[in-house]
Amino acid sequence: MTSRLEGDAAIIYPKGYLNNLSGESLVIECGIYIGKGITKIIVNFSETDLINSIGISMLLQIMEDLKNIKGTICCTNMSKFLRDTFEMLGLIQHMLVFPVESDALKYLKARKS
Amino acid sequence: MSTKLEKALYNISALADLGQAITSENDFHEKIQSLLYVITGTFLANKGAILFYDKSTNRLNTSTQKGFAQADLDRLNPEELMSLGRNEPCLIGNDPVLAVAGAEVLAPMWVRHDFIGALLLSGKLTVGPYTPGDLELLSVIANQIAIALNNHTLFMDLSDKLEDNRRLYEEMRRIYHGTLQAFAAAIDAKDAYTKNHSHRVAKYSVAIARELGWNEHEIEGMYVAGYLHDVGKLAISNALLNKVTPFTPEEREEIRKHSTLSHNITSKIKFPWKNVEDMVWHHHERLDGRGYPDALAQESLSDGVRILTLADSFDAMTSQRPYRKKMDVQSAIAELRKNLDSQFDNKVMLVFCKVLAKEIKGELPEPDILPHLDRDSDLSVITDLLEGIIAELSTP
């Protein structure tokens, strides 16, 4: 899992199958940024093919953590499978979804101004 | 693909995740935590708990939980939950007994007639209610988790019992060895000149057996035979055992009865080791068939008998006797060497020399032979002698 900071937003790139292990790393990575005072997180799913129920649970955890600090989560570059899964679960209504990372960054910047 | 079908596929894959979490090699706590993640991920619940019923305290313990106030979970009364359906999730609604802040659905978990604990979930992130389909799926999940928790309890109970048995076995073993040593002390007390003889013979025999590569069970049998080989002397008169002047032929015959007496005594005991009775019976036999009581020779003599014979003779030679002075160590080794083929076994002698040489060089952390030898012995002379014999006996 890699991540970077762009302005006041953290961008995280989970890799492969989002399950127990990678899901926990995602939660930890987000936790580190939240601990540093970052409230805007972009999860770029371009390198994520699949997600299971544990991965969903981890994502819920991040959404909950950000909600508690009035933060924002943006999801970008989702495959059709991922998007369909989030839609079917009704999860998509509780997150901001953008086709690509740059759109999410633009949105967050605009919201700031 | 229709949403209904997609949802069904997602539920099936959630059940597969559940199976994977249950059968994973993770430790129990990690496993339970994964199970909770599967459930919260399946139902999009941001709070969840798996509670485990402790029969001994009649309390529900929290195995893992996320989002609930622990005090609320602690207030749940197991008996109230037992009266609900078995593995049938129920909506908490406004039930004051089941009320846990933020909880919306509760599934009591059972395996056959045993109450195992409960599953607790908050409302869904999507706010919608739990559908009959959700409750049906949760029922399947509760069933699986109940079995996993029950298996864990059974396994822990078995592990505890195994540990208790192991402790009991060790205790019995200690008592057994204490009894053996008391027996040996009684044997040796009859003859002032053979004090600790049984103990030393047991030690020497064990050292040889271990060097020969015997397993721990066989070595223990050898140790017991070493301790009991002279138990028949308890039936021989003290006066005869401590006689200073040479034995008459009749007295020699009487003394020689001790190995058969040792056999008669030990054969009454059901030893868990093979051949203890045989070893004590024949520890005065010789390879050339001139020993007693049965004048057995060569193939009729087991390795255990051959070890015990050499260990017994070596200790007898290096101990003071009423009718002769003790030999120094190198003379005793030379005497063993002289009687190879006729009395002592080459292989056993080679191993005895090797183990003693190792002990002298400090290569064995817990020496069995060296501490019992004469402190005035010249170890360099003994080492030269041992190495000569080792070289000779190692040559094909």
Q: Are strands A72-76 and A40-44 parallel, antiparallel or unpaired?
A: parallel
Q: Please tell me which residue of chain B has the smallest CA distance to A60.
A: B46
Cβ pair B7:A88 closer than 8 A = yes
Residues of chain B with Cβ-Cβ distance to A88 below 8 Å are 3, 6-7, 10
For residue A113, the model assigns a pLDDT of 47
Cβ pair B37:A58 closer than 8 A = yes
Q: Is B232 in contact with B262 (CB distance < 8 Å)?
A: yes
Sequential pLDDT tens for chain B (396 residues):
677 787 788 888 888 888 888 888 778 888 898 899 999 999 999 899 999 999 889 999 999 999 888 988 888 888 888 888 777 888 887 676 666 767 889 899 999 889 999 999 998 888 788 989 889 999 999 998 999 889 988 999 999 999 999 999 999 989 988 888 888 888 878 876 778 899 999 999 999 999 999 999 999 999 999 999 999 999 999 889 888 888 899 999 999 999 999 999 999 888 889 889 999 999 999 999 999 999 998 889 999 999 999 999 999 999 987 777 889 999 999 999 999 999 999 999 999 999 999 999 999 999 999 999 988 889 999 999 999 999 999 987
Has residue A13 got a pLDDT over 60?
Answer: yes
Q: pTM value?
A: 0.63
Cβ pair B126:A64 closer than 8 A = no
The CATH number of B3-162 is 3.30.450.40
For residue B15, the model assigns a pLDDT of 84
* Position B27, amino acid: D
Whether residue A58 lies within 8 A of chain B, CB to CB, comes out as yes
Task: Enumerate the CATH 3.30.450.40 domain ranges in chain B, comma separated.
Answer: 3-162
For residue B224, the model assigns a pLDDT of 94
Cβ pair B41:A90 closer than 8 A = no
For residue B98, the model assigns a pLDDT of 66
* Position B159, amino acid: S
Q: How high is the ipTM of this complex? A: 0.88
Q: How far is A65 from chain B (nearest CA, A)?
A: 11
CB atoms within 10 A of CB B323: 10
Cβ pair A52:B7 closer than 8 A = no
Q: Is B104 in contact with B97 (CB distance < 8 Å)?
A: no
For residue A47, the model assigns a pLDDT of 93
Q: Which residue has the tokens 């607790």?
A: B120
Residues of chain A with Cβ-Cβ distance to B14 below 8 Å are 52-53
Architecture per CATH, domain A2-102, reads as 2-Layer Sandwich (3.30)
Q: How far is B98 from chain A (nearest CA, A)?
A: 25
Helix axes A53-68, A20-35, angle to 10 degrees: 10
Q: How far is A12 from chain B (nearest CA, A)?
A: 21
Quick one: which of A82, A60, A89 has its CA closest to B7? A89
CATH class of B191-394: mainly alpha
